[in-house]
Structure 1
Amino acid sequence: MVYLSVLTISSIIQAAYKNPNWDAILFTLTWPPTFCSSYNVTLPLNFTDFTIHGLWPIILPNITVNCTGTEKFNISLLKGLRPRLDVEWPSLKNLSRTESLWKHEFEKHGLCAVEDPKIGNQVGYFNTSLQLRAKTDLLNTLKRYNITPSNVTEYNKTVFQEVMKKAYGSPVHLSCRQNRGKGSPKNHSLEEVRFCLNRSFSHIPCPNEGKCPERFYFPPFPKHRVIYLL
C-alpha cells in the first residue's frame, strides 16, 4: 500500500491547478439582435449572423481552467485574419474596443487553449475559432430545420435541442435574456449558444443545457441600422 504525505498531496494538487489538463472546450456564439437590444446598442448593417464570443477550455463538468501560458497578445500577428475577425468576432457592446475583447479572450482563455498542439499559439487560437464558426454554420443550420428569426414566433426549447442533436449530434447550452424594456412583455430571447467539444473538436453533450425557459424568441435583425466602417 502506498502512503502519501500531506505535503506530497498538497504538491500534487498545486501542480494540477498550475498545469490543468483541460478535457473539453466551449465554443460560444452570440446572437447580435438580442445582445444589442439588451444593452441598447445600435446594431450595424455589417452584421447578419451569429458572432463569436469565445473559445473556452474547461475541465468537465464545468470547471474554469487556470491558464499558465506566457505568450503575450500581439495584435500584429492577426493581420491576416483581421478582415474576418472584425465581422465574425466583434465587441458588440463597443465596436471601438474590439481589439481589447480579443486581448481579453486570449489572455483569459487562449493561453489555456494553446496548450493543445492543434491550436499551438495565438494565431492558431483565433484561426481555430473562425474555422469552428464556419463549420458550425449555425444560422443556416437552423433555417434548414425551419427555425428562422421572428418577432412573432416562440420556439420550444425541447424542439430546439432536438434540432441541435440532429445537426450536431449533441444538445447544446442555451442562454436567453429577458426583455426588460418599459412596457415590454416579460418574454425571453435567445442570446447565446454554447457548443461543447472534446479535445478532437467533436461535439459532446454539454454538462447542462442552460437556463432558457421552455419557450423563447429568436428575434430578427432590426430593419433600421447604421453602416459601420470596419
Structure 2
Amino acid sequence: MGENRGLMLFKLVILLSLSTGALGYRTGGFRAFYFVQQWLGSYCNQRGTVCCDPPTGKPKPDFTIYGLWPYYNDGSFPYNCGDDNYDVGRIKYMEKRLQQSWPTFTCPQIGRKFWVHLWNKHGTCTKDILGELAYFEGALYLKNKVNILQALARAGIRPDNRFYSLKSIKKAISRSTGGFHPWIVCNTNAKGNKQIWQVTFCSDKTGKKLIQCPYLPGGRGNCDNRIQFPSFY
C-alpha cells in the first residue's frame, strides 16, 4: 500500500484504542466525535491501491468524509456497540448527498451496504444521543461547515502535485474554521513522497459544533515539514 512505518504506527495506535472501545461503551462516557475527511488523490495513488468510481460517476475534486467516530472521556474509540434495526430506507432522502460527500471507492462497489457498515460500526455507539438520521445529518452538516479545499485554495494551496509547508496548510485550514486546529495525517505515494491524506477535527455530541480535540497528538505527526498535495485521483 506504500505506507511507511510512521503511518503503520499511527494505525496501530488506532487499533489499540479500538480494542479498549468496547469496554468504554459498557462503562459509559461518550464525549464527542472525531470528524475525518480524506483527499481521494492521496488514497488512490498509494502503491497497490485500486479505486473504483461510485455508481454516480467520478465526483468533482473535493475532500470527502472518511468517518464520524465517537470517542469517550478516556480517549478510547467505541465500536460495534450492539445490534440495531438499521433501516436503510430511512436515509433514502439524503442518499444523493451521501453519495457526493461520503462516497465509497471500494472495488467492487457495495452501494448502500457501505452506510449500513458505518452505522453498525460507529453510529450504534451514539444512538442514545444521535439516532440514525441525526448521525448522518451531523456528518453532512460538518462537511459543509469545514470546506478544506476552499480554505486551502484561499491560501494559494492547490492540488497541483506541488509541495507545501505543513505549517501553511494547518494555518489555512484553522483560519477558515475560526481557530480550530486540524490534525493532519499523511501517507506515502508510489514514489515515496509524503502527502496530505486525512484532516481531522472534533465536534461535540450534537455533531454540529466544532471543539478543540483534547486527545489528538500535536506536532508534525507522521508528516514531513513539506508535503505534497496531489491532483485528484
Regarding TM over 0.5, the answer is: yes
Q: Does 2:122 align with 1:109? A: yes
Preserved contact between residue 190 and residue 218 of structure 1 (Cα < 8 Å): yes
Name the CA shift for 1:194/1:74 in 2 (closer, same or farther; >3 Å): same
Match of 1:9 in 2: none
Aligned residues: 201
Match of 1:176 in 2: 186
Match of 1:82 in 2: 95
Name the CA shift for 1:15/1:218 in 2 (closer, same or farther; >3 Å): closer
TM-score, normalised relative to structure 1: 0.77
Match of 2:7 in 1: none
Equivalence map 1:104-143=2 (5 Å): 104-116=117-129, 119=130, 121-143=131-153
Equivalence map 1:64-79=2 (5 Å): 64-66=77-79, 68=81, 70-79=83-92
What is the alpha-carbon distance in structure 1 between the residues aligned to residue 79 and residue 62 of structure 2?
A: 31
Which residue of 40, 54, 57 corresponds with 1:32? Answer: 40
Q: Which moved more, 1:104-113 or 1:91-100?
A: 91-100
What is the alpha-carbon distance in structure 2 between the residues aligned to residue 147 and residue 220 of structure 1?
A: 12
1:15 to partner: Cα distance = 8.4
Q: Does 2:30 align with 1:22? A: yes
Preserved contact between residue 36 and residue 93 of structure 1 (Cα < 8 Å): no
Match of 2:202 in 1: 196
Code of the residue aligned with 1:27 in structure 2: it is: F
Q: Which moved more, 1:40-49 or 1:107-116?
A: 40-49
Name the CA shift for 1:79/1:211 in 2 (closer, same or farther; >3 Å): same
TM-score, normalised relative to structure 2: 0.77
What is the alpha-carbon distance in structure 2 between the residues aligned to residue 177 and residue 214 of structure 1?
A: 14
Preserved contact between residue 33 and residue 71 of structure 2 (Cα < 8 Å): yes
Q: Does 2:222 align with 1:211? A: yes
Preserved contact between residue 24 and residue 72 of structure 2 (Cα < 8 Å): no
Consecutive unaligned residues in structure 1, runs of 5 or more: 1-13, 223-230
Code of the residue aligned with 2:166 in structure 1: it is: K
Deviation per residue, 1:111-138 (Å, 9 max, x gap): 122322xx3x111111111111011122
1:99 to partner: Cα distance = 2.1
Q: Which aligned segments of 4 or more residues in structure 1 are displaced greater than 6 angstroms?
A: none
Deviation per residue, 1:32-64 (Å, 9 max, x gap): 111122213255532421111111011256311
What is the alpha-carbon distance in structure 2 between the residues aligned to residue 42 and residue 96 of structure 1?
A: 7
- Residue identity over aligned pairs, in percent, reads 25
> Secondary structure of the equivalent of 1:221?
coil
Preserved contact between residue 52 and residue 106 of structure 2 (Cα < 8 Å): no
Preserved contact between residue 56 and residue 113 of structure 1 (Cα < 8 Å): no
Match of 1:3 in 2: none
1:19 to partner: Cα distance = 4.5
> Secondary structure of the equivalent of 1:23?
strand
